[in-house]
Amino acid sequence: QVQLVQSGAEVKKPGASVKVSCKASGYTFTGYYMHWVRQAPGQGLEWMGRINPNSGGTNYAQKFQGRVTMTRDTSISTAYMELSRLRSDDTAVYYCARMVVAANNWFDPWGQGTLVTVSS
Amino acid sequence: DIQLTQSPSFLSASVGDRVTITCRASQGISSYLAWYQQKPGKAPKLLIYAASTLQSGVPSRFSGSGSGTEFTLTISSLQPEDFATYYCQQLNSYPFTFGPGTKVDIK
């Protein structure tokens, strides 16, 4: 079955960087864009950006431009999201999600989420 | 950026009730809209895509409608497992924004 499994929770200090991984299985990794979405505690969903695993091309939300880098390793069907210069308001659960493109678009499935806590 | 609003932001309902949630887009998005359900501590789950297409495995009591700027998610007969937060998302143009969510609680 199609599955996305993310890396474990992280605790970081302000100013540090974090790199979250998302391992895909059950489908052709290079055939679907991978998106990243975050959710601060008690808040809604916020789209961060996406990567085309085939070409490596990316598209980031303006809010995160200059701080986020999305990469992939096709040999192990894994996507990565690295966020730098962390602040306390970056504390959130970070999700990866596969985008299906047909006549329309949708996200399915989602990874289980990775909690990133930024605290001094 | 395309902004999405949802109404209501919170609703209290009973098992068996018919529930309708509205999502409005700040500009036309054709039918590039999806609905997700999220339960506490869990990842969002796709319910509806292309505004009205039910995802495989999702109960038929869920339905979606609309196009352009106004969309609705309807639960025809609320079940205990449906108490959750529901989000709409536009996938017409980047950034792929989400609505603020509608929390459905038990009356």
Cα of B81 vs its chain's centroid, Å: 15
Q: Which residues pair with B27 in a beta bridge?
A: none
- Tokens standing for residue A15: 């100013």
The string of pLDDT tens digits covering residues A70-83 is 999 999 999 999 99
* Residues of B whose CB is below 8 A from A44: 87, 98-101
CA quadruple A103, B46, A26, A114: dihedral, nearest 10: 130
Instruction: Give, in order, the Cα–Cα distances in Å from A7 to each of A47, A80, A83.
Output: 19, 10, 14
CA neighbor of A80 nearest in space, from A32, A13, A37, A19:
A19
Interface test with B, best of A39, A45, A52 (most B CBs within 10 A): A45
Inter-chain residue contact A108 with B32, CB threshold 8 Å? no
Please tell me which residue of chain B has the smallest CA distance to A114: B43
pLDDT at residue B55 greater than cutoff 80: yes
CATH C-level class of B4-106:
mainly beta
Cα dihedral sign for A37, A40, A42, A43? negative
3-state secondary structure of A84: coil
- At B10-38, the pLDDT tens digits run 999 999 999 999 999 999 999 999 999 99
Give, rounded to a whole angstrom, the gap between the first and last alpha carbons of chain A: 40
For residue A59, pLDDT over 80 is answered with: yes
CB neighbours (10 Å) of residue A65?
A: 9
Instruction: Determine, for residues B34 and A61 on separate chains, whether the beta-carbon distance falls below 8 Å.
Output: no
pLDDT mean across residues, chain B: 97
A103: pLDDT strictly greater than 80: no
